Structure formats: C-alpha cells, structure tokens
Amino acid sequence: MPVATKAKRVVHQKAKGPIDPGVGQKVRELRSARGMTQAALAGPDFSKGFISLLETGRTRISLRAAHVLAARLGVEVTDLLSAPTTDRQDLEFMLLRAEQELRSGQAKTAIEIAAKWTAKATGVLRARFQRLQARALIDTARSPEAVKLLDDALRSFRSLGAKEFVARTLYDLARAHARLGAPGEAVRYALEAEQAIARGDVIDRTLELEIHQFLASTYYVLGDISSAQLRGERARTIAEDAADPVALARLYGALALTRYEEGDKEAALAYARKAIQAHDALGQQERVAETWNTLGWLFIKREQYGKAAEALDTAEGLAREHGIERLVPFITLNRGALALARGQHRDAIALAETAADAKVVGWLRGRALLLRARAIASAGGSLAEVRRAFDEAIAAHKTESAREQARAHQAYADALAERNQAADAYAEARKASELAGIRI
C-alpha cells in the first residue's frame, strides 16, 4: 500500500536587517555536533547553498527560517538567535563536546561531562544535559538510571514549553524502556513522540524515521508482525526519500527479521546481506557484527549449518576485535541453537547456560533457559529433569510477549508428548493456544 506523504513546504528567505555571523557559527557548530551534512539540515525547505552562506556569515536569516532550523537542530529558536553570555557559551560548548563524545562511541566520557556540568546549568540547558547523560546511560545498559533522568528532563521541557525537546525525550524514554524489557511502555512513549511530530512540535525527518524503525522492531518483539511490517515499509519509504545510508542500513536489518517471520526466507537473507554491506560501507562495526549474528540465526533456521557457523564466527571475531562485549552472549545463544540443531546436546546445554548467566537484557535469560530445556529433552533427560528445566524457562518468560510465552509452552508440550505424558502435554498446548489467541 503506498504511503501518503505531506507536501513539501518551501521557506522563502526575505529577511531584512544586518547579518549576524554569530547565528551562522552557532548553526555550523550544532550541525557538526549532530553529524548532519549541510544538505540534511537544508532538507526540503532550503538549498544547501543557503546553509553554506548562512554558516559563513554571508546571508541573514528570517524568523521563520530560524524556527525551522532550530527545530531541526533540536534547540530553542531563542537559543539559536540570542547572543550568548560567557557562562552560557561555556555550557553550550561542553554540551556540544559531550554530544560529540557520545556520537563517537565514548558514552562514559559523555556521562562524566554531562554529570559535571548539569549542576552548573539551569532551565533548558540543565534539562538538555540531563537528557544527554540519560542517552549515554542507555548506551551503557544503565537504563533504570536513564529513565529517572529522562523523567526529570521531560518535566522541565514541558514546563518551559520546549516542545521539540519534549518529542525527542519521549523517544529516548521509549528506547530506555525497550532496553528494560518493557516493550508495551516503549511503544506508548514512541507513539507519543510520533504524535508530537504530527502536531509539528518538531520538524525532523531523521527522528520520524527512527521512530518508525523503532516501532517496527518493537512490534516484532511483541509478536504483531503486521504492524511491524507496516512500520518497516513506512521507514523504508522515508529512508529512501531522504537517502539516509545509516537509516537504510538499520532498516535492512529490521526487514530481515520481519520477512523471516512472514515465511519469506530468501528475502530475509537478502535484506540481512544488504544490511551488512551498508553498515560495512559506513564503518559501523558494531552494526556489522550484530547483522552477522542475525544472519547466523537465519542460516540455522534454513538448516545451512556450515554457513551459520561461519556467520557466527565472523560476528564474534568483530565483537572481540572492537570490544563489543554486550553482543557476545547473543552470539553464544545462537551457537547453542546451532549445536542443538546439529544434535550436539551437551554443547547446546553448556552454551545456553553461559548465555543465561549473562546480565545483558532480561529476555535473553528466558530464551537461553528455553534452549537449555529443549536440549535436555532432546538429549534424553529424565522426565523430572525435563520438567524442572521447562518450568524454569517458562518462569523466566513471564515478562515476555504472549507470542514468546506461547512458544515456550508449545515446546514444553512437544517434550511431554514425546514422553507419552498426554494429559500434561495437552494442558501445555492449550496454554500455548490461549496465549496465541487460538481456541482448541
């Protein structure tokens, strides 16, 4: 189904009065700190040449244009146009420095800078330091601390009428709750951020794209594949329209998963390969490693075990080389799945236990314990051992989506059926069906 797009708005530059080179300098600093090109900042409203002239102090800016650029850069228009005091210049410089550290992958340094300067800031700047610190905490898997900071920043932004920062902070809260294993809350905050964009509180196609991508991934986790597909296609349309290589690379990875769930395994592998090529071209080794891990999982599902092993070896090699330790437990889990598929039950049990002990995200433990239970059952474990293993796995699934809980109960039902425990197998299958919304 084609996606409706808004008509592009063109801002006509008819400003009068003297040129203020300070505005252009501030625009350039903010754009550079956010990793934006002049063309990306110009968007559909301006020409790249106008942005260049503005940044070099060779043209003036109208109030309307200032509103558009301020929203796109994520600042208040008054911050963009006002002459900063020395203290404010120091604060803005340190905020930009912290943003640059975060963008370059130095989350800990960003946290240290933001924590130090938050106490010296007031108003919007203080809330911006809090938000930046929270974003860095999310990247270091410290989401509970991030949520508290984001809640404080959100209240401040709302009280100060900083609508664009309200929208961005809502999306940050969505990301934080997703990391905490609360996809329902994550969707709620992401939809609020989307509504803010629809109201015109912030004009940012990149943020709009990220929200669609995020919702596609989160709906996938929740088992709502049709919504995931819809969001994924919307994101693809925006990404291709904006020609954003980073967004396209991430999107290919998300589409690989949704295409697999739809049963189109060829398309899933094609998208996974596209994601690897795109991330590799951008030099994003963490994303490359993640996608190799996904590709390994897809090869396991297609029973191409040699290719799966090669993909997982590549993923782990990149993770070790670039210090991406958080990814290793996920690769270990897939190695366990590969061992089970090959009938290597002891290896599967050991790998699953290793993954279960890793403290990364809550759902990883549930998946790892389920893999362990399936391996114990396939290895011919006693009925008592199988029951204990599956009971532990199902208990660990309590906070997961209904779809994942249904899969755990169905796996338990299959294991019980193989041991001629017909009544208990039927009870587990019934639970699985109820969770999946199927009556039997």
**124 touches 162 (CB < 8 A):** yes
pTM of the model: 0.49
Model confidence over 305-361: pLDDT tens digits? 998 999 899 989 988 888 888 889 999 999 999 999 999 999 999 999 999 988 766
Q: Is the pLDDT of residue 28 over 90?
A: no
The more confident residue out of 192 and 324 is: 192
- Average pLDDT over all residues of the chain: 81
Task: Give every CB contact of residue 375 below 8 A, 6+ residues apart in sequence.
Answer: 336, 339, 340, 345, 348, 349, 352
Q: Is the pLDDT of residue 12 over 50?
A: no
CA angle 334, 337, 342 (to 5 degrees): 130
What's the whole-number mean pLDDT along residues 265-289? 73
pLDDT band at 362 (very low <50, low <70, confident <90, very high): low
Rounded distance between C-alpha atoms, residue 87 and residue 103, angstroms: 24
The more confident residue out of 75 and 146 is: 146
Radius of gyration of the chain (CA): 25
Q: Is the pLDDT of residue 1 over 60?
A: no
Can you name the CATH fold of 1-83?
Answer: 434 Repressor (Amino-terminal Domain) (1.10.260)
End-to-end CA distance of the chain: 34
* pLDDT for the residue numbered 354: 93
Model confidence over 62-120: pLDDT tens digits? 888 888 888 788 776 766 776 555 566 677 778 877 887 787 678 888 888 888 888 88
Rounded distance between C-alpha atoms, residue 95 and residue 43, angstroms: 25
What's the whole-number mean pLDDT along residues 150-159? 91
* pLDDT for the residue numbered 316: 92
**244 touches 209 (CB < 8 A):** yes
* pLDDT for the residue numbered 223: 79
pLDDT band at 20 (very low <50, low <70, confident <90, very high): low
The more confident residue out of 181 and 306 is: 306
* pLDDT for the residue numbered 239: 63
The more confident residue out of 414 and 237 is: 414
| Segments making up each domain of the chain, as ranges | 1-83, 355-440
Class of the 355-440 domain?
A: mainly alpha
* pLDDT for the residue numbered 45: 83
The two three-digit tokens of residue 310, written as one number: 């090669």
pLDDT band at 245 (very low <50, low <70, confident <90, very high): low
Rounded distance between C-alpha atoms, residue 339 and residue 342, angstroms: 5
| Range of weakest confidence among 92-101, 329-338, 364-373, 379-388 | 92-101
The two three-digit tokens of residue 188, written as one number: 């709620």
